[in-house]
Structure 1
Amino acid sequence: MDLPSFHALAAMIMTVGVFVAFARGKPSIEIVSLFTIALIGVGLYFYPLPDTLPTDGLTLAFAGFGHPALITICALMIMGRGLVVTGALEPAARVLERVWKLNAQLGMLVSLLLAMALSMVVNDTPVLVLLMPIFVALAQRGAMPASKTLIPLNAAVLIGGMATTIGTSTNLLVVGIAQDLGMRQLSVFHYTPIVLTAALVALPYLWLVMPRLLPDNTPERTQTIRRFFSHLRVTPQSELAGRHFDEIAGRLPDDFRFEERPGGAFEPGQRFLISGTHDGLESAIRMLRGQVAPSWVIDQIVGRSRKRREDIQVVEMVVTADSRLVGRTLASSGIADRYGVAVLGVHKPKSLLRGDTNAAAAHDLRLAEGDVLLVMGLSDGLEPFAATDSLLQLEGAREVPRRSKALLAAAIMFGAVALASVGLPWIGAAGLYLVKVPIAISALAGAIVMFVTGCVKFDRVGRALSAKVIVLVAASIAIGRIVLESGAAGWLGEALALGLQYLPPAGVLMAVMLFVTVLTNFASNATAATVGTPIAFALANELGLPEEPLVLAVLFGCNLCYATPIAYQTNMLIMAEGSYRFGDYMKTGVPLVLIMVTTLSFLLVMTYSL
């Protein structure tokens, strides 16, 4: 066997070096990614590949920034942002929240099974895009931190996607190459029992072990969570009207409570002292449909927001010693009339409350120095209010979800997923049929529609995208191309074939699967499929083995992309949301790869009587 070429050897050395740098975490992923792109571009400019120009190397190095995979990821991030800012996923989050409230372990199990089932019939990328914001929202509501759920959820999606020939584009690629080489066509559920059995073996690890291996990356709070007091007015349309407290107690958020309770049923017009965190107040008010501020000022704020196409903000403001509000109540302050803003609640320091919440009720929320107001409004009302009444605005302003566009955002996302998974109805010479649209096209179209309809605003795009993910995707695409075009992947395949002739069939299957798994985790699954499938056919002919189990070993190996963030686009999608490091994928992914390789190899041997 010949030695690898200079370019192939350099590509292998660079790939190992980049992997070590990613695993160490120093320097940062962004720096390593940009350095890798620069190294490939400069190296190929001075030492171009055979039969290529120096400028072709620059094209190869920077092609990742215009690659469909990167465009897809960015478009999916934008659509995910649209679902969040419109509150479109809140109903689904509340349903799952009830399951998680019953039992956290049960909630995790149900979530993993749901992810697996969906990705069997729907392309795995849209499935993760739909589920990821829900689990981020659940984490904000007090469920398990997103950093402990997103990697297991992603792994469940990938395992489910492996179970059918339509689950991932990689499956279709392997099956297509195999058919071109002469293998019979595989049905959609041809090997599903094998994958489902392996999934049952891996499920306890995903469910019970993997979350424990992951860190809690929830941002540390610089201060204690504030609890705001307010008065809730029961309206005729409220869910409280005519009901007793015991009927609604079980539905209330954990971070919300009634400081006063009625002796009988709630009646329209009654006012009760309530308290809760910002999230607790928002959830309870929306669910109970009560009022904590004059309805006329809320309607005025919403109307102006729609007319001016400006987001409503909720900010926290501290009452200073010079403020005219000191000693006044909210009712006598005239805040709504003067500035057109609404005070939703008041946080009173414990030193003022002296541990007695009745003090807040007795003084009708009389304001004092150091109180923190939770204020809702538009910028042209919030800024004059803070400046004129000597208030100190705190950091961390929030935008109120544009719920009027929630159904529209959900419909756009559903349409993008349907186009990529089911197809677009089309009438041709053969009649009505479905034409599948590439996920890059459907996601990009969905993102554009999100912009046009106002679900996502152009000046908010930066909040949806992650610079770390963008440069990492671009670098991984460049690495995959140089590994393939330099001949490094082909040389590794020849070396593998040379050494496998002495192994039993079970060992050959496991070795092929491991080789493709390594290739897919450090190059790309498309590269692994392109290189691995012909190798599997050649091995079958040389060793006298059936072709189908070896091709399935390649297909399974291409899907075992759990060990690095660069292995698959869904791995990168969750990276920013979970604040993951490269090592988090390795720590949790390598054991899962070993479990799946061992189980799938054994099942292939048993199924095909090898």
Structure 2
Amino acid sequence: MIENFVGEFMRDTPSGLSALILGLVFLGFLFEKLPPAAVATAGAAAFLLLGYVSTDEVLEVFSNPAPITIAAMFILSSALVSTGVLDAASSYFVGLSERRGPIALVLLLLGAALASGLMNNTPLVIVLIPIISKMAQALGIASSKVLIPLSYMAILGGTLTLIGTSTNLLIDGVAQREGMEPMRMLELLPFGLVALVVGGLTLLLLGPRLLPSHMVSGEAIDDSTTQFMSEVRILAPAETEATGRPLSDFSALSKTRVLGILRGTERLKPGPDVELFPNDLVIFHANQSELLTLREHPNYRLGYFKASKPSTDQQKTEKLEAVYAGDAGSSGRQLRDLDWFKAGVRVLGIARRKHNPGPALSEVRLRAGDRILLEGSPADLAGILEEESFAAASEPRLRPYKRHRAGLAILTMAAVIGLSIFNVAPIVTLSLLGVGAILLGRCVEAEDAWKSIDGSILVLIFAMLAIGRGLDNTGVVQSLVDAVTPFLQDVSPLVVLLAIYALTSVLTELISNNAVAVILTPMAIGLAGSLGIDPKPLIYAIMLGASASFATPVGYQTNTLVYAAGNYRFADFLKVGLVMNLVVGIASCLAIWAFTGI
């Protein structure tokens, strides 16, 4: 039978060439000599060149609602990051770990799963990696015991809703192109919950035994964990000069850790009863985003500068983060005594790994490796960088938090999800309206919004949609259905579900899950027609199988993130991932079979 199938392909030139191109694309994904988007684009170009897909059909690909929705969800997720919503949630869990111990870790993982069902899980995992690592360190648990579970729970959470992963949206878009009705927001929820519960229990019971135990020695993967020492001078209108403000108000506003307060020559220790008065100098630790947020607050003057009133307040300024490499003329001298320190330049903060640089910014003695956040005119900053030994200098990668816009960001995301659940309008329409709302409301700067869109994913999706159209035109999809149908003709629907899920899961571990989804979705719909069964359950199986990628660090983006952050080996994913693939796969298919009555 297999020989006949291959022979028919060889006799049918369009089908044979199409299958060959598809095979080469899959090999390109597997060996990773080129980025997946480049491989897929080359494959789509080959179909166009051979005439298997027309220019008009390629242009129709760009009208598919799935990639547009995915891009919109990236932007909506970035608004939750830029307004500090995710940071606030993460800070809550760090405090909870001090009170509740390991239970806080479990709650964080559950929270990550639920949040993944409502937003893109890549920025979510990036934010949570340093948080869960700190929680594990505080509890005496190896970071490697919690980072893989974080990725896995985020993956499982993505199976709860239609917008949980970009793959779900893409599969729904392909299914609609094949004539199926659009899926509802919570249509996957019953099956996703089963997968989440079974997968979570498996991690809880087997994770401690199968996961490696070693502390992470590398640096955090993002700048949000680097703590800068800085200081603010308290300002106030003349009519309130005699009025003190609680120190807790300052700490709550900026999420800082106060080290001390200088009032004239007196140094005060931070405490719940301490009040701040105009001209007090508050010394504190905070991350880069917090510093930039305080820089814009009217009641505080951030940083150290020699002039009584910095010229940077009246002219266009730039911010630079520089790494100090050491200089004989500066070694051992305090910052206030350095000749090269221009009057118009403000030092916003100094970070020194695992050490406090000094009692105040003016008294810091620079050491090689110190990270310095500077602000000043372009000319003054250029002068400093030319005169002194800096290993590197770049613009700050983080932005000030827009906490005053957090309510709008949360309301917009909730509205998009809620209206989608009640099918008020298509998800693509609602997500685009949501993007318009957060951009008009300045929840995220337009520049940051566009940067949040992963262009490589969109290019990959568009290219694979074009390849899928070409395979359909040349009859490859129908040939695959005809070849598989005899093997599944006399088996139960449950076996069909298991076969589709297994094929999807295995391919997803090797190549892009978006590519797998585009190829297998029309095949599953055709197979269901040949077997006389409802195609929806098979679509559910592909959605769960394409997301539930546990056995390799390259099968899913969040796996790749924790692979680097947790200092894992490839085999660490295999040990626990293969078990997760098997258990979650069987549970998911049983749930689909039971709930749909296929």
TM-score range, shorter chain: 0.5 to 0.7
Counterpart CA distance in 1 for 2:561 and 2:308 is 32
Counterpart CA distance in 2 for 1:217 and 1:489 is 49
In the TM superposition, what is the alpha-carbon distance from 1:561 to its structure 2 partner?
0.9
Aligned 1:296-375 pairs, distance under 5 A? 315=322, 320-321=327-328, 327=333, 330=336, 338-339=343-344, 341-345=345-349, 360=358, 365=363, 367=365, 372=370, 374-375=372-373
Q: Choose which of 20, 24, 28 in structure 2 pairs with 1:21.
A: 28
**1:422 aligns to what?**
419
Q: Choose which of 536, 558, 562 in structure 1 pairs with 2:543.
A: 558
In the TM superposition, what is the alpha-carbon distance from 1:443 to its structure 2 partner?
3.9
Please tell me whether the aligned partners of residues 151 and 574 of structure 1 are also in contact (alpha carbons under 8 angstroms). yes
CA gap of 1:173–1:150, structure 2 versus 1, over 3 A, is same
Q: Choose which of 199, 224, 240 in structure 1 pairs with 2:247.
A: 240
Counterpart CA distance in 2 for 1:483 and 1:392 is 55
Counterpart CA distance in 1 for 2:307 and 2:361 is 23
**1:128 aligns to what?**
119
Matched, 1:97 2:79: no
Please tell me whether the aligned partners of residues 519 and 527 of structure 1 are also in contact (alpha carbons under 8 angstroms). no
Q: Choose which of 390, 399, 402 in structure 2 pairs with 1:401.
A: 399
In the TM superposition, what is the alpha-carbon distance from 1:491 to its structure 2 partner?
2.2
CA gap of 1:530–1:589, structure 2 versus 1, over 3 A, is farther
SS in 2 for 1:159: coil
SS in 2 for 1:160: coil
Aligned amino acid, residue 531 of structure 2: L
Aligned amino acid, residue 347 of structure 2: V
In the TM superposition, what is the alpha-carbon distance from 1:262 to its structure 2 partner?
3.5
Please tell me whether the aligned partners of residues 317 and 386 of structure 1 are also in contact (alpha carbons under 8 angstroms). no
Aligned amino acid, residue 532 of structure 1: A
SS in 2 for 1:395: strand
SS in 2 for 1:374: strand
Counterpart CA distance in 2 for 1:608 and 1:467 is 36
Deviations 1:112-139 (CA, angstroms, capped at 9, x unpaired):
43355567xxxx4xx133x543432333
Please tell me whether the aligned partners of residues 70 and 169 of structure 2 are also in contact (alpha carbons under 8 angstroms). no
Please tell me whether the aligned partners of residues 122 and 558 of structure 2 are also in contact (alpha carbons under 8 angstroms). yes
In the TM superposition, what is the alpha-carbon distance from 1:85 to its structure 2 partner?
4.2
Aligned 1:384-463 pairs, distance under 5 A? 386=384, 390=388, 392=390, 394-398=392-396, 401-403=399-401, 405-408=402-405, 411-412=408-409, 414-415=411-412, 418-419=415-416, 421-423=418-420, 435-439=424-428, 441-447=429-435, 456-457=444-445, 463=451
Aligned amino acid, residue 133 of structure 1: P
Please tell me whether the aligned partners of residues 259 and 284 of structure 2 are also in contact (alpha carbons under 8 angstroms). yes
Matched, 1:110 2:99: no
**2:479 aligns to what?**
491
In the TM superposition, what is the alpha-carbon distance from 1:592 to its structure 2 partner?
4.3
Counterpart CA distance in 2 for 1:472 and 1:584 is 28
Please tell me whether the aligned partners of residues 100 and 108 of structure 1 are also in contact (alpha carbons under 8 angstroms). yes
**1:202 aligns to what?**
199
In the TM superposition, what is the alpha-carbon distance from 1:498 to its structure 2 partner?
1.3
Structure 2: state its 5+ residue gaps: 135-142, 236-242, 262-266
TM-score, structure 1 normalization:
0.65
Please tell me whether the aligned partners of residues 522 and 564 of structure 1 are also in contact (alpha carbons under 8 angstroms). no
Matched, 1:12 2:19: yes
**2:67 aligns to what?**
70
Aligned amino acid, residue 199 of structure 2: A
In the TM superposition, what is the alpha-carbon distance from 1:95 to its structure 2 partner?
2.0
Judge which range, 85-94 or 310-319, deviates more.
310-319
Aligned amino acid, residue 48 of structure 2: G
Aligned-residue sequence identity (percent) comes to 16
CA gap of 1:72–1:413, structure 2 versus 1, over 3 A, is farther
Counterpart CA distance in 1 for 2:499 and 2:366 is 72
CA gap of 1:263–1:326, structure 2 versus 1, over 3 A, is closer
**1:544 aligns to what?**
none
Aligned amino acid, residue 156 of structure 2: A
In the TM superposition, what is the alpha-carbon distance from 1:160 to its structure 2 partner?
1.6
Aligned amino acid, residue 93 of structure 1: S
Matched, 1:155 2:143: no
CA gap of 1:136–1:62, structure 2 versus 1, over 3 A, is same
- Superposed CA RMSD in Å reads 6.0
In the TM superposition, what is the alpha-carbon distance from 1:422 to its structure 2 partner?
0.8
Counterpart CA distance in 1 for 2:86 and 2:328 is 42
Aligned amino acid, residue 97 of structure 1: V
Please tell me whether the aligned partners of residues 40 and 463 of structure 2 are also in contact (alpha carbons under 8 angstroms). yes
Please tell me whether the aligned partners of residues 30 and 471 of structure 1 are also in contact (alpha carbons under 8 angstroms). yes
Aligned amino acid, residue 139 of structure 1: I
Deviations 1:119-178 (CA, angstroms, capped at 9, x unpaired):
7xxxx4xx133x5434323334554699846742442223322799xx966897899999
Judge which range, 172-181 or 94-103, deviates more.
172-181
CA gap of 1:133–1:522, structure 2 versus 1, over 3 A, is closer
Matched, 1:482 2:482: no
Counterpart CA distance in 2 for 1:191 and 1:448 is 28
Counterpart CA distance in 2 for 1:512 and 1:78 is 33
SS in 1 for 2:372: strand
**2:128 aligns to what?**
138
**2:137 aligns to what?**
none
**2:531 aligns to what?**
539
CA gap of 1:76–1:381, structure 2 versus 1, over 3 A, is farther
SS in 2 for 1:128: coil
In the TM superposition, what is the alpha-carbon distance from 1:436 to its structure 2 partner?
1.4
Deviations 1:230-283 (CA, angstroms, capped at 9, x unpaired):
66778976653799xxx99xx976xx8669874986454697996758559859
SS in 2 for 1:16: helix
Judge which range, 143-152 or 13-22, deviates more.
143-152
Counterpart CA distance in 2 for 1:103 and 1:332 is 48
Counterpart CA distance in 2 for 1:186 and 1:70 is 16
Counterpart CA distance in 2 for 1:163 and 1:334 is 54
Counterpart CA distance in 1 for 2:306 and 2:55 is 61
Please tell me whether the aligned partners of residues 234 and 291 of structure 1 are also in contact (alpha carbons under 8 angstroms). yes
SS in 2 for 1:394: strand
